[in-house]
Structure 1
């Protein structure tokens, strides 16, 4: 049985190209700004970091939700094929680039703004490591779904969906409240 793709491959390539071109432009601008070290650089990298984190978190929240519905779909049906396309594009076009920009900008901010000092910062970094581990787990799960080898139920995916929420709350508390400053 052959499946029609939910969207064409050329549309996917166009979206991917636009995403990578945007990321490249931002990275080039950031490198240029870093080279010249203007006063406004720290603030704009903070903006970049926050936007990247929001984009990454959206993916970390949405992908497990897709898995909930995908787990209930027949593995050889059209809905399953559509979920595979959606999951792969979410990971490759949004989540992976957003995670990389979050890490790069975040580490730069941690070094420049705080010199990697403060227990609150290390707890925040630990939560980001946890989010990264969860991201890798989701990426591997997407590959299993694509191969028709998912082993988790929709209920388990609903429960897994709470992991990034808890880690995000801890990270936000550390950044805003700085309880161990």
Structure 2
């Protein structure tokens, strides 16, 4: 497979993954404000479906990223300081992804511990990390 196809697939799955993890905390905002049990139950279903829809994209993003590194080679990897910073930031995004899973499990047990304001802030938090990742991948400033 050509390197351009690998890059295209890596970027596609990253975009799909980010769309999902930007939307999941937004569902948490609405879920935290819900008062009716029927509405809460509907949010649990929506959150579960979204989680299981986007999680494979997280793994496919990782898969194609590792494949890209393998194609470029270890010498390139060692010399690419920007990539080491990007990987560190990606670890934070994967941590965020699985933190969302923990929150969803709390919601599914009706054990929400946070306000809708918390989820609004949580919803916006990864945007700056994503911006830094894109700048590192495209501009390669270091």
TM-score by length of 2: 0.93
Tell me the residue number matched to 1:57. Answer: 18
Q: Which of 1 and 2 has higher RCO (CA within 8 Å, sep 6+)?
A: 2
Please show how residues 61-76 of structure 1 align to structure 2 within 5 Å. 61-74=22-35
Please show how residues 61-140 of structure 1 align to structure 2 within 5 Å. 61-74=22-35, 77-93=37-53, 95-113=54-72, 115=74, 116-117=77-78, 118-140=80-102
Q: Which has the higher helix share?
A: 2
Moved over 6 A (4+): none
**Alignment partners' CA distance in 1, 2:140 and 2:85:** 10
Please show how residues 25-40 of structure 1 align to structure 2 within 5 Å. 40=1
User: How many corresponding residue pairs?
Assistant: 139
Deviation of the 1:175 alpha carbon: 0.5
CA RMSD in angstroms comes to: 1.2
Deviation of the 1:64 alpha carbon: 0.6
Please show how residues 1-12 of structure 1 align to structure 2 within 5 Å. none
Does the residue aligned with 1:161 lie in a helix, a strand or coil?
helix
For structure 1, which runs of at least 5 residues remain unmatched after alignment?
A: 1-39
Deviation of the 1:46 alpha carbon: 1.1
Whether 1:45 aligns to 2:6 is yes
Which of 1 and 2 has greater Rg? Answer: 1
**Alignment partners' CA distance in 2, 1:83 and 1:147:** 12
For structure 2, which runs of at least 5 residues remain unmatched after alignment?
A: none
TM-score by length of 1: 0.74
**Alignment partners' CA distance in 2, 1:111 and 1:170:** 23
